[in-house]
Amino acid sequence: MDYRDRHVVVTGGTGALGSAVVAALIEAGATCHVPYIDQAEADRFAFRSHAKVKLVADIELTEEAAVARLYGGVPQLWASIHLAGGFAMSPLAETAKSALMQQVDMNFVTAFLCCRAAVNAMMRTGAGGRIVNVATRPALEWRAGAGMVAYTASKAAVAALTAALAEEVVKAGILVNAVAPSTMDTPANRRAMPKADHAAWPKVEEVAAAILFLASPENRVARGGVIPVYGRA
């Protein structure tokens, strides 16, 4: 896949999946624009000094002005990949409204605002583009969301956003898709679930490969999909 001379926004790019996506994009020739809010995480980011990576500080993705500043600094946006989000596990009966709204903000609002900014940027160039969101397995298999209802609902909203927006912008040459991972093989997930079958979990590099194709010029027809990337889990 050829990303030479293409600019790509990657939210959540300093995380485990984000680092794998950025690594693959760099190898394909892209210039990556990676926003962050946590300085310590940015300092640990393996590609912080790479010539093809533009770190953008103090971007709170739930704030319209910050999102506008991020996308305003990207020349000729080709793709926008939205990995930023958060997870919380609690029974509905113990979930306060504040916890629900936090999940909605972290998962749905960030994706919505970045999709809107990306669409506007792509419309201005008239060259089309690609958008990839990240849902989750429970966003497709709702019963799997028992015990994490707020998270599941917020990610299901991301899936619905993806399908509806894909239909809305296809005539502008913008293809919108999402991936829906099961539990991914990351150090944090291994620590949280030490007795799980880690070999069955999808690797972040494998999920990144699916994202890379959906965001690429080689994807000419896929739109409105929420693609299960479950591995053998």
On whether the pTM is more than 0.95, the answer is: yes
Q: Return d(Cα 13, Cα 22) in angstroms, integer.
A: 7
Tell me the CA distances in angstroms from 208 to 20, 25, 30, 127, 204, one per residue in order: 6, 9, 14, 24, 6
Res 91: pLDDT = 96
The answer to whether 222 touches 214, Cβ cutoff 8 Å, is yes
How large a percentage of the chain has pLDDT more than 90?
97
Cβ neighbours of 194 (radius 10 Å): 8
Strand 53-56 vs strand 77-82: parallel, antiparallel, or unpaired?
unpaired
State the burial class of residue 97 (Cβ atoms within 10 Å of its Cβ: 0-12, 13-18, 19+).
exposed
For the chain, the maximum distance between any two Cα atoms, rounded to a whole number of angstroms, is: 50
Query: Please, which pLDDT band fits residue 233 given cuts at 50, 70 and 90?
Result: confident
Cβ neighbours of 24 (radius 10 Å): 18
Mean pLDDT, rounded, of the chain: 97
DSSP state of 90: B
Q: Return d(Cα 120, Cα 118) in angstroms, integer.
A: 5
Q: What is the pLDDT of residues 21-62, one digit of tens each?
A: 999 999 999 999 999 999 999 999 999 999 999 999 999 999
Domain 7-229 has CATH 3.40.50.720: yes
Domain ranges (residues) in the chain: 7-229
Q: Evaluate if residue 128 carries a pLDDT over 90.
A: yes
Closest listed residue to residue 169, CA positions, set 133, 129, 110, 134: 129
Q: What is the pLDDT of residues 66-110, one digit of tens each?
A: 999 999 999 999 999 999 999 999 999 999 999 999 999 999 999
Q: What is the pLDDT of residues 134-158, one digit of tens each?
A: 999 999 999 999 999 999 999 999 9
Length of the chain: 233
